[in-house]
């Protein structure tokens, strides 16, 4: 392929931009809560804000169904360009909605609508771009799986970095300009990067050989039932791990009593750590085997989640950063090779649908409800180790699934 490095950069930069916009909401949740919900009870407002955050994940399986079908019928490239435009519109919309004080109940309803659009847009971004990338590159699929994964994590990192840098601003509307500007950037730069990319060679060959299906989702359920449900279970684990460690961590640390600036600093560094670990362990998957690396990640999380969470303390910044940083690396061990694992389970004619539905039914649904579940659980029980129990449970499930699967 001509301009191979340019193709890799373009594909991964689009994922970075879209995940930046998709996760800004989580890091500005407390400010959004004060703007869009009644202010009488801040804790309830925060829960409602995270509830709206979760709603976007509930629609992601529907987006995966729609865009997966379109990707398997009409090609990968155009769907990725459409995703990025939809995300831009939704993100700018959040920044432009009037507050609850000015618009009443229409404010949170409009916020829900924009989050639904964001959920639809991101539903096949990581999965669609991973399928597109791995169908196009000729070798080193583990490494490029890690790079694709890292692009999403770098988007989360930069969203957290923006929140950290702007945490000392207290203007009433400053956060809105972040959403508007990020929406403009993703709409302009993202679409420019993607609209003229070549189609996936694997898809082109399948189309020329007339191997495509009129109803790829039906064929997926009929012929690929076992890998489909296996993919959902594995995606549930990585969804829980990523949203516990990367997205919920800032709120978790503030609930324990850490300052907002310290909590955001840690969450920013966690996203960067996880992204780098994903690349390293994706590369190692090319040498050790994909299944072996996935098993390593699940087993280490089972063994170390509880001890590492027990070292987290609002009074010790360095110890907390080290403990959660190690957890971020453990998430990266699994996250790096997961894309190539899922892509390898499905034929090209149903691959976009299969990977998108697996990841969104598992990872997106579980990940989306994780912050609100953990926020509520910690508020009610005061048990600081509760997040580790969640990770151990899902890690054990992933380990059992992988032990029953043939080597990939």
Q: Does residue 408 sit within a domain?
A: no
Q: Does residue 373 sit within a domain?
A: yes
Asked if residue 67 lies in contact with residue 123, where contact means CB atoms within 8 angstroms, the answer is yes
Asked if residue 143 lies in contact with residue 162, where contact means CB atoms within 8 angstroms, the answer is no
Q: Does residue 253 sit within a domain?
A: yes
Q: What's the total number of domains in the chain?
A: 1
**Full residue range of the structural domain in which residue 399 is found:** 4-403
Q: How far apart are CA 296 and CA 306, in angstroms?
A: 17
Q: How far apart are CA 394 and CA 363, in angstroms?
A: 11
Q: Does residue 160 sit within a domain?
A: yes
Q: Does residue 75 sit within a domain?
A: yes
- DSSP character at residue 193: H
Going residue by residue through the chain (408 aa), what tens digit of pLDDT does each one get?
546 666 777 778 778 877 887 778 877 877 788 888 876 667 777 778 777 877 877 888 999 999 999 999 999 988 988 888 898 899 999 999 998 888 988 988 999 999 999 889 888 888 999 999 999 888 889 999 999 999 988 888 888 788 777 766 666 677 888 889 888 887 788 777 777 788 899 999 999 999 999 999 999 999 999 999 999 999 999 999 998 998 788 888 988 889 888 888 898 899 899 999 999 999 999 999 999 999 999 999 999 999 999 999 877 899 999 999 999 999 999 999 999 999 999 999 999 999 999 999 998 778 778 877 888 888 888 888 999 999 999 999 999 999 985 545
Q: For residue 131, give the nearest of 352, 364, 362, 360 by alpha carbon.
A: 352
Helix (H), strand (E) at residue 309: helix 290-310
Q: Does residue 89 sit within a domain?
A: yes
Q: Does residue 353 sit within a domain?
A: yes
Helices (H), ranges, 97-140? 100-103, 106-122, 125-136
Measured between its terminal Cα atoms, the distance across the chain in Å is 27
Q: How far apart are CA 210 and CA 208, in angstroms?
A: 5
Q: Does residue 364 sit within a domain?
A: yes
**Which CATH number goes with the domain that contains 8?**
1.20.1250.20
Kindly give, in sequence order, each residue whose CB lies less than 8 Å from that of residue 101, ignoring residues fewer than 6 positions away. none
Asked if residue 83 lies in contact with residue 352, where contact means CB atoms within 8 angstroms, the answer is no
Q: For residue 215, give the nearest of 65, 107, 323, 368 by alpha carbon.
A: 65
For the chain, the farthest-separated pair of C-alpha atoms sits apart, in whole angstroms, at: 63
Q: How far apart are CA 223 and CA 117, in angstroms?
A: 31
């Amino acid at each position: 392929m001509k301009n191979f490095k340019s193709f890799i950069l373009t594909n991964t930069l689009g994922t970075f931009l879209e995940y930046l916009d998709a996760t800004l909401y989580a890091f500005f949740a407390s400010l959004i809560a004060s703007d869009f919900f009644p202010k009488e009870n801040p804790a309830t407002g925060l829960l409602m804000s995270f509830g709206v955050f979760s709603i976007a994940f509930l629609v992601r399986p529907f987006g995966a169904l729609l865009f997966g079908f379109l990707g398997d019928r009409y090609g990968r490239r155009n769907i990725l360009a459409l995703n990025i435009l939809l995300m831009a519109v939704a993100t700018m919309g959040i920044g432009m909605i009037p507050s609850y004080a000015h618009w009443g109940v229409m404010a949170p309803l409009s916020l829900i609508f924009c989050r639904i659009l964001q959920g639809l847009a991101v539903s096949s971004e990581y999965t669609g771009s991973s399928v597109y990338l791995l169908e196009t590159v000729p070798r080193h699929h583990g490494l490029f799986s890690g790079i694709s994964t890292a692009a999403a994590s770098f988007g989360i990192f930069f969203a957290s970095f923006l929140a950290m840098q702007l945490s000392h601003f207290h203007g009433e509307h400053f956060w809105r300009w972040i959403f508007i500007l990020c929406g403009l950037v993703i709409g302009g730069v993202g679409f420019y990067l993607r609209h003229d990319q070549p189609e996936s060679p694997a898809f082109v060959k399948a189309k020329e050989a007339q191997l495509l299906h009129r109803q790829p989702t039906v064929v997926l359920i009929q012929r690929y039932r076992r890998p489909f449900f296996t993919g959902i279970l594995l995606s549930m684990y990585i969804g829980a791990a990523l949203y516990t460690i990367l997205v919920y961590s800032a709120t978790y640390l503030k609930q324990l009593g850490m300052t907002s600036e310290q909590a955001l600093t840690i969450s920013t560094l966690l996203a960067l750590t996880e992204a780098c670990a994903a690349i390293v362990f994706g590369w190692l998957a090319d040498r050790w085997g994909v299944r072996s690396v996935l098993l390593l990640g699940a087993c280490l999380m089972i063994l170390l989640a509880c001890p590492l969470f027990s070292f987290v303390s609002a009074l010790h910044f360095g110890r907390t950063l080290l403990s959660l940083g190690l957890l971020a690396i453990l998430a990266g061990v699994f996250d790096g090779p997961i894309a190539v694992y899922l892509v390898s389970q499905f034929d090209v004619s149903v691959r976009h649908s299969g990977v998108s539905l697996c990841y969104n039914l598992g990872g997106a649904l579980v990940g989306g409800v994780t912050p609100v579940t953990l926020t509520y659980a910690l508020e009610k029980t005061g048990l600081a180790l509760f997040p580790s129990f969640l990770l151990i449970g899902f890690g054990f499930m992933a380990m059992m699934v992988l032990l029953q699967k043939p080597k990939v």
